[in-house]
Amino acid sequence: MAVKNQKEEKLTEILSLNSKQKRVIGRVPKIGIRPVIDGRRKGVREALESQTMEMAKTAAAFISENLYYTNGKPVECVIADSCIGGVTEAAMAAQKFEREGVAVSLTVTPCWCYGSETMDMHPWYPKAIWGFNGSERPGAVYLAATKAAHDQKGLPVFSIYGSEVQDAGDTTIPNDVQKKILEFVKAGLALAEIRGKSYLAIGSVSMGIVGSMIQEDFFEDYLGMRCEMVDMTELIRRIDEEIYDTEEFDKAMAWVKEKCVEGEDINPPDRQQSRKKKDENWETVVKMTLIIRDLMIGNQKLNEIGFEEEALGHNAIVSGFQGQRQWTDHFPNGDFSEAILNSSFDWNGIREPFIVATENDTLNGVCMLLGHQLTNTAPIFGDIRTYWSPDSVERVTGHRLKGKSSKGIIHFLNSGSASLDGTGRQKIDGQSVIKPWWEITPGEAENCLSATRWCPANLEYFRGGGYSSQFLTEGEMPVTMTRINLIKGLGPVLQIAEGYTVDLPEEVHDILNRRTDPIWPTTWFVPNITGQGAFRDVYTVMNNWGSNHGVISYGHVGDSFITLASMLRIPVSMHNVPEERIFRPSAWAAFGTHDHESADFRACKNFGPLNGKRC
């Protein structure tokens, strides 16, 4: 009873926090559960009503107990009012789902039913069918018949079928079925959450980086999102005219002075900025942080000072800040703003991360967004900076790499939006983790801040100054690195590399880090090597990476990205996820069962982007 009360208190706390956390316009997507039944009356249907509806209730309870929205609330399920034995009841369920805000559908059945009469015909809901594996009634036969109908009608469906036979009265969900339900629902919710929201580009192209060149067709056709653009001069206007919450600014500055410790200034003494200039820069970067957030989601406080239009924001679930060079040649850089917004805490306490891409790299921003949706944790943005072979490390440091590092390491490093969650100072049983924001303790937030130094920016790069976060990721954490690239004539492709963050001896890290930009946050990353293809060795992983940027998400979640990519019709060009963990719609098997990578490309091309024409 005490444990239950603690959970209820925690949930109440989350709900209280989130009453103030509504950020973007749109209904919270719900999961629609469709109990489908053999419609024949006078004995058949009547014998199955209880079992079928119980399946739906069990599935709904399981989902709500195990999955959470990014705002910390349990995922909501909506069950059809009755079992679905034919087209009329299917239409009644569809009507209820539309009214209740359902965006993902899971059909459940223990028996044979009339496939095309009971199937979900919604044009863009992600769909799955769980067919009960029992010998008394042929649920598997319905599953097979109905997935054939889905495939023929061009409405891909995920097939869920347990590997072991259950008795008719068994109301448990087998482990393999549980995994597939959670994988499907997580990915479907991610798709639904981003639809209709905005990517906000603050500025334009940074230093010729092609990812900064926002491609509206990609966002609209594949993600169902819209693109908003604001010139960086808008920040100057809002700073000069004080279009921000001045009370919150004072609160933020007090927090910064207490919590944000300045680090080393690597600029030559005769070029270092004065103390007065550095203090002015602190005020500017804090104002930038407030303004970027307000541009994304609005701020009703601005209504109170006469700026009704500005108070609305851009309904942005993700944004990017160009910075270099038009801004940073004169003004402080965006590193502090990006790092703090991407973290799970600031002067207002522990809260859901905002997603802001450095250098307005829209494609990295999408991977940050998708990773956050799938894991509920803060992503880490970085450059795929350097591959260090064991021989190179030994030559430079005298140290031979060991353990997970023994085959080589990748230096994951960038000046900007690496979230402070990436310090590895959040813990479970003494092991480094990155937690969903609602599980982070105040002490862990303090530890992340204490592990970070804010170094005056390198004036060779950032003439206007500013502050770059400096930390070293601690601990051996399971992580997944991702990147979307756009290929002319092909469209978007996704790259995935599961692996681990690793620790190096302090003196080894210091030697390697000092050879590059030592005042930026470092994560030492080792991908899992398979000995084949792009994952033959660590060097080959980096050599095949499609861009200078990547995103690290917590956990081995490559399978979740693959499931989501299949829903979005984005083929995966490179991954190291074991085959037994991959879950795609059943139709993908029709495009080949031997070479799954090639089949994925063919299937995605055939079904096309979910929300419109091909890029």
| CB 545 within 8 Å of CB 367 | no
**Options 221, 359, 361, 498, the catalytic residue:** 359
- Let me know how long the chain is: 615
Q: Is 36 helix (H, G, I), strand (E, B) or coil?
A: strand
Tokens at 499, concatenated: 């692996």
Nearest partner of 526 among 420, 339, 380, 384, judged by Cα: 384
d(CA 121, CA 84): 13
* Cα 79–Cα 81–Cα 83 angle in degrees, nearest 5: 90
Q: Which residues of 394-422 are buried (b: 16+ CB within 10 A; e: fewer)?
A: eeebebebeebbeebbbbbbbbbbbbbbb
Q: Tell me the CA distances in angstroms from 34 to 55, 61, 85, 157, 325, one per residue in order.
A: 10, 14, 11, 14, 53
Nearest partner of 544 among 495, 500, 601, judged by Cα: 495
d(CA 549, CA 234): 27
Residues sharing a CB contact under 8 Å with residue 280, sequence separation 6 or more, in sequence order? none
Residues sharing a CB contact under 8 Å with residue 574, sequence separation 6 or more, in sequence order? 495, 496, 497, 533, 534, 544
Nearest partner of 449 among 261, 253, 252, judged by Cα: 261
**Options 383, 498, 559, 600, the catalytic residue:** 383
Is 359 tagged catalytic? yes
Residues sharing a CB contact under 8 Å with residue 217, sequence separation 6 or more, in sequence order? 612, 613, 615
d(CA 584, CA 566): 6
| CB 195 within 8 Å of CB 610 | no
Tell me the sheet residues that pair with 491.
487
Nearest partner of 102 among 81, 126, 118, 131, judged by Cα: 126
DSSP states of 302-353 as a string? HHHTT-TTGGG---EEEEEE--TTTTTTTS--SHHHHHHHHSSEETTEE-PP
Is 503 tagged catalytic? no
Tell me the sheet residues that pair with 263.
none
Strand residues in 176-249 grouped as ranges (E): 198-202, 226-230
Nearest partner of 131 among 30, 47, 36, judged by Cα: 36
Residues forming the active site: 359, 383
